[in-house]
Amino acid sequence: MSNPTPNITAPVDLTNPGQFFACCGLLELADRLWPGVEGWFNSGGSFALRSEHPECKTLALLKQLSVAEVKMIDPSEPAASPMRLHLGGQPVLLNWWCDTTSGGSRLKTWAGRQCGHLIFSLMVKRVGSADPADPFGHSAQVFDKTKAGKDKDKTISPFYFDARRAGKSLDFGFSPDTQRMSIPEYPVVEALAMVGLQRCRPRIDESTTPMSFIYTAWSQPLGALALTGVACGMVQVPAMGNFRFTRPSRGGDYTNMFTRAKRERSSNA
């Protein structure tokens, strides 16, 4: 049985964990705007969304997200505070990094003086200029201009969900941020992955060194509510396979980043 004709199709690299979780976030937000949306991964290297609402389009979602309000819930803890995204009148709570029970805290990639609220807010503002035909390919320099006198030529550090950013550090042989270099970020991936991780967590494998994380790319239409068990592989559905990645330290710094994932053929693929 073939899948329905989608309203939205976005190219995706499933070996990039940030893009996988960004797809989860895309489905999550689309469902808030147009209830009943279903999403799935295609063998051709794309993620699809299907809705009965004709206004369900990539451009419409990105434009609404780019002007959405992001509120810090606990201003006394700017680095770790939960956030609330207000999208089209729909509040979306984001606090997965505070969860020590189901492994959310082990996926946190920012620490110290980094402010999660600031990074997310700046990434959100830049998603509106993305090409709707390839939103995850959108790159842009994201500057922090919130403090007077701050160096405007240095981009803000991202969450490092997108594995392409990790590749740049490896290619250079050092961390561009440490050397105060301004290089492009991937704001759509960073923003949507932050949302996607709220519901979709990978399975943790502590038997590997370093500890690794496994996600499953499903290939049948599913709604957002079904993703919690599916994305981590606990609920078996037709899938494109399992993918394993790690979260190593970035150049010895306290910040971590998602690595490229390796595909592991699953029994339900």
Contact 117, 99 (CB under 8 A): no
Spatial separation of the C-alpha atoms in residues 195 and 22, rounded to whole Å: 7
Spatial separation of the C-alpha atoms in residues 241 and 209, rounded to whole Å: 22
Sign of the alpha-carbon torsion through 145, 147, 148, 153: negative
Q: With residue 231 as reference, give the H or E element that holds it.
A: helix 227-231
What is the residue-level pLDDT of the chain in tens, covering all 269 positions? Answer: 578 899 999 999 999 999 999 999 999 999 999 999 999 999 989 999 999 999 999 999 999 999 999 999 999 988 899 999 999 888 999 999 999 988 899 999 998 778 999 999 999 999 999 999 999 999 998 988 766 555 555 678 899 999 998 655 444 444 454 444 556 899 999 999 999 999 999 999 999 999 999 999 999 999 999 999 999 999 999 999 999 999 988 655 567 899 999 999 766 65
Burial class (CB within 10 angstroms; exposed 0-12, middle 13-18, buried 19+) of 80: middle
Neighbours of 219 (CB within 10 A): 18
Spatial separation of the C-alpha atoms in residues 147 and 133, rounded to whole Å: 35
Type of residue numbered 29: L
Query: Structure pTM?
Result: 0.91
Q: Where are the domains of the chain?
A: 8-264
Contact 131, 138 (CB under 8 A): yes
CA angle 192, 224, 206 (to 5 degrees): 70
Closest-CA residue to 142 (of 157, 130, 132)? 157
